[in-house]
Amino acid sequence: MHLRRAILAVLAGVWAPVSSTWAHSPLEGGGQEQLAALLSALVMAGFWLLYLTGAWRVRPALWQSAAFHTTMILSFYAVLGPLDEWAETSTAWHMVQHMLFMVVIAPLFVLSRPLPQISAGGGRAGALVWEPMLRFTRHPMLTAYVHGMVIWFWHTPYFYVLALDNPWWHVIEHAFFLVTAGLFWWAVLKSASRNVHWALFALLFTLMHTGFLGAMLTFAQSSLYGADRPLEDQQLAGLIMWVLGAFPYLVASCWVGYRWYQQMQRRISPDG
């Protein structure tokens, strides 16, 4: 009895700060916002369960498993945590949410190498979904173009505000960012040897146009997303995309560039 009370006390102590942090989650809202949040939660939970089911059949390496679970925790936080509410009133927090999707969650998902587990969990149905996507990732520049169009599309004033005002469009926006960013990072981080130079060009192209978009937001003389959003907040959002958002692309470019350099060295080596 004493042991059970102690366990309950510990659980209550752990849950108290967690519940306080998540008090502003979209799940706590009502109407369409709550329905959209519930749908997002179900989709992510189903995807997580699919991985866990497959992991019983095909054991991942410990670091791969840790990377995948970190990806899912960050996804839940970005979509259902207080960050989502902060993003509704702050352009800077909205940019943090977008950058979390595109340069943290997406590459971490790719590095976790989850396809064997997801395929094992979903069977043939999972393969039918992944195979066309994998064929698409054979073309790094094409994934960069598609991902770039999605970034600029959702940062135009009309569609940016539309996603804020309508929870269903907000869900669609998140899905577009996650899927296209995932395909982009898969194409550049897992590029075949014959495509490694295209992977580097794709990274530099993305670094260039996202930096340009960030600079536009930074140096704009008026708020692009409504008078209720301060210009200083928009400028901070631009700096987040322009400066902080550039680091993952730069690191990946160095790694892919090194791969390309090694290939060229092997070609010119007398022993090659």
Average of pLDDT values for 142-148? 97
Task: Say what percent of the chain tops pLDDT 70.
Answer: 86
Q: Is the pLDDT of residue 127 over 80?
A: no
pTM > 0.75: yes or no? yes
Q: How confident is the model at residue 20 (pLDDT cuts 50, 70, 90)?
A: very low
Alpha-carbon gap, residue 249 to 228, rounded angstroms: 32
Model pLDDT, residue 270? 60
Alpha-carbon gap, residue 168 to 64, rounded angstroms: 32
Model pLDDT, residue 27? 59
Model pLDDT, residue 11? 33
DSSP string, 26-91: GGGS-HHHHHHHHHHHHHHHHHHHHHHHHHHHSPPPHHHHHHHHHHHHHHHHHHHSHHHHHHHH-H
Q: Is the pLDDT of residue 145 over 80?
A: yes
Q: How confident is the model at residue 18 (pLDDT cuts 50, 70, 90)?
A: very low
Average pLDDT value over all residues in the chain: 86
Tell me the pLDDT tens digit for each residue of 177-235.
999 999 999 999 998 888 999 999 999 999 999 999 999 999 999 999 988 889 999 99
Task: Say what percent of the chain tops pLDDT 90.
Answer: 62
Tell me the pLDDT tens digit for each residue of 220-247.
999 999 888 899 999 999 999 999 999 9
Model pLDDT, residue 44? 92
Q: How confident is the model at residue 37 (pLDDT cuts 50, 70, 90)?
A: confident
Which residue, 114, 118, 122, 23, is CA-closest to 66?
A: 114
Contacts (Cβ under 8 Å, ≥6 apart) of 139: 187, 195, 198
Q: Is the pLDDT of residue 164 over 80?
A: yes
Tell me the pLDDT tens digit for each residue of 62-112.
999 999 999 999 999 999 988 888 888 899 999 999 999 999 999 999 999
Alpha-carbon gap, residue 11 to 90, rounded angstroms: 34
